[in-house]
Amino acid sequence: MARIRFTVVTIEPETKSWTWVLERPCEECGLDCRSFPREEIAPRCRDAAAPWPGFVTDPRARLRPSADRWSALEYACHVRDVYRHGSYRLGRMLNEDNPLFENWDQDETAVSERYDAQDPARVADELGVASTELADLYGTVDGDLWSRPGTRSDGALFTIESFGRYFLHDLVHHIVDVQRGFALLERTAKGDG
């Protein structure tokens, strides 16, 4: 059996501020963060973890659909870490007065943590644990807690509610990213790409 050789290509860092998803639907993934009651944030966070075990066990999970797009495994690692950061930040908003969140360089993390070389089964398990932790933590939020603030290092101000909606968009968007990546890989394999 021929061995596949993987070369790590650094992807152009994301520079967009995605806070606009709190004001209008995302044209790329279709999610309108304003379209559901805030009490649905917890179950939707849990539900957004469901496709990832299938994504990372897919034979194409380590393949990048193009040089400028992450593989399904790399996205899974990112989503796992997004859940972890979400729990950390939500915990701070629940327990501190207007915490200031340090910058998280997601692109640097992808390279330094070797997302491309991580074990898919372990990533799926860790993602499941992290999603449950965040969903459970959001399940404790009620009443005035929804309006507790936190500030991102770039100055963007969130409440627990807006953070949950913003955060949920990230989760849903990356599911669509992987689905589109698999479709592109399929078209390329058929010679249609």
pLDDT tens digits, one per residue of 149-181: 999 999 999 999 999 999 999 999 999 999 999
Q: What percentage of the chain reaches a pLDDT higher than 70?
A: 91
pLDDT of residue 6 exceeding 60, the answer is: no
DSSP at 71: -
pLDDT of residue 5 exceeding 60, the answer is: no
Q: How high is the pLDDT of residue 111?
A: 85
Cβ(127)–Cβ(83) below 8 Å: yes
pLDDT of residue 89 exceeding 70, the answer is: yes
pLDDT tens digits, one per residue of 26-62: 999 999 999 999 999 999 999 999 999 999 999 999 9
DSSP string, 93-107: HHHSSSPEEPP--HH
Cβ(176)–Cβ(28) below 8 Å: yes
One CATH from 3.40.50.150, 1.10.10.1100, 1.20.120.450, 3.40.47.10 for 39-61+69-188 = 1.20.120.450
